Amino acid sequence: MNLVTVSGPPSSGKTAVILKTIDALKKQNLKIGVVKFDCLYTDDDELYKKAGIKVKKGLSGALCPDHYFVSNIEEVTQWGLDEGFDILISESAGLCNRCSPYIKDIKAICVIDNLSGINTPKKIGPMLKSADIVIITKGDIVSQAEREVFAARVNMVNPAAIIMHINGLTGQGSFELSTLLYDETVQTNSLKGMKLRFPMPAALCSYCLGETRIGESYQMGNVRKMDFEEK
């Protein structure tokens, strides 16, 4: 089985792109499953089901969804193998702009949209910087110039990536992406021992653990204070 991790800011078009790409993959008679990670709520699983795609969802609740992702991805992989998928695609929303679910030697795709503003690429961090393929969506609602400027900015933070434009509504470009996803020679049977591409920062402070009271005496663990001296 091939595992493909897809990540990107909320509403950037991840589900739309995955659905259209699966359409193209199905024509090659490949068996595909999806796992969706989110925080509090998602109805993406319904969209996948409606398209006849096997899907599992995981909600991380109060935890960072990417931390939750790493803690569960091995089990998810075993599920995918049991189901006999050729390709298992994970979709996760990047929320903290600091974590990314990418694993070394596992294909990593970042989906980002043209509407998010030209300074977004530099704000996103590892989720964009360490992806193998960057998909830019919503080109249909901006000008050619804006598309070129945006792509140039993406290229600047991740020059090594393949950058592709996909229209999530019409699927234009998704066939092309589908040709890059499946590699017969790759067989992922377990992720045990594999490594994340980028360390996830520890975010454990007393508030992570449910503290609600405000004030220094309630703050424990990894606490950082703003610097008011800085000019």
Partner 1 sequence: MENIHSFKIKELLNKYPFLDSFFKNNTLKISGKEHLTLRQVFAEFDEDTLEDMGVEPQLFIQQITEFITQMNTFLGKDENKVKSVTILPGNDKSGNIEGFDKLVIKQGEIISIVGPTGSGKSRLLADIEWVAQEDTPTKRKILINNDIPDKKWRFSSSDKLVAQLSQNMNFVMDLTVYEFVELHAESRLVENKDNVIKRIIEKANDLAGESFEPDTPITSLSGGQSRALMIADTAILSKSPIILIDEIENAGIDRKRALSLLLSEDKVVLMATHDPILALMGDRRIVIKNGGIHKVIETTDQEREILSTLEEMDRTILAYRTKLRSGEIITKI
Ligand X SMILES: Nc1nc2c(ncn2[C@@H]2O[C@H](COP(=O)(O)OP(=O)(O)O)[C@@H](O)[C@H]2O)c(=O)[nH]1
Measured CA to CA, the distance from residue 53 to residue 152 in angstroms comes to 35
Using CA atoms, how far apart are residues 127 and 200, in angstroms rounded to an integer? 11
CB of 172 to partner 1, least distance (A): 6
Out of 52, 84, 159, 210, the residue judged to bind partner 1 by CB under 8 A: 159
Could you say whether residue 223 binds ligand X (CB under 6 A)?
Answer: no
Binding mask 37-56 for Mg ion (x = CB under 5 A): -------x------------
Can residue 127 be called a binding residue for Zn ion (CB under 5 A)?
no
The torsion defined by the Cα of 6, 10, 11 and 12, in degrees rounded to 10, comes to: -50
Classified as helix, coil or strand, 218 is helix
We find the least distance from the C-beta atom of residue 207 to partner 1, in angstroms, to be 19
Stretch near partner 1 under the rule CB under 8 A, chosen from 43-51, 66-74, 141-149, 203-211: 141-149
Among 157, 194, 203, 205, interactor with partner 1 by CB under 8 A = 157
Produce one character per residue of 187-198: b if its CB has 16 or more CB atoms within 10 Å, e if not. Answer: ebeebeeeebbb
Contact set with Mg ion (CB under 5 A): 14-15, 44
